[in-house]
Amino acid sequence: ETAARRKGKARRGRGKARNEGLLSKQKRSRRMKANDRERNRMHHLNSALDALRSVLPTFPDDAKLTKIETLRFAHNYIWALTE
């Protein structure tokens, strides 16, 4: 124990200054903001992949390449163009 506690003086600090309800609201707000950022990130990523798909030559025009297939095909296509 510290000398201040032994003399009966309470230490000042953050402690439980905020009530549980406020903390819960803040956590929920942070989570909603993080979810919104992630949703926007994925939206932009998917838009970029769609734009990449539109410039890649594909044999069956109706078949949509997956994300990894799009990246691998783009890599191989760029490599083939440089050879």
**CA gap 1, 34 in Å, rounded:** 41
Phi/psi at 82 (nearest 5 deg)? -80, -20
* pLDDT for the residue 21: 85
**CA distances (Å), origin 49, targets 8, 15, 56:** 65, 48, 11
28-66 per-position pLDDT tens digit: 999 999 999 999 999 999 999 999 999 998 877 778 899
Q: Model-level pTM greater than 0.95?
A: no
Determine the average pLDDT of the residues in 14-37: 85
**CA gap 51, 55 in Å, rounded:** 7
pLDDT at 9 over 90: no
- Ordered domains of the chain (ranges, CATH): 13-82 (4.10.280.10)
Alpha-helix residue ranges (DSSP H) falling in 1-83: 3-6, 20-55, 67-82
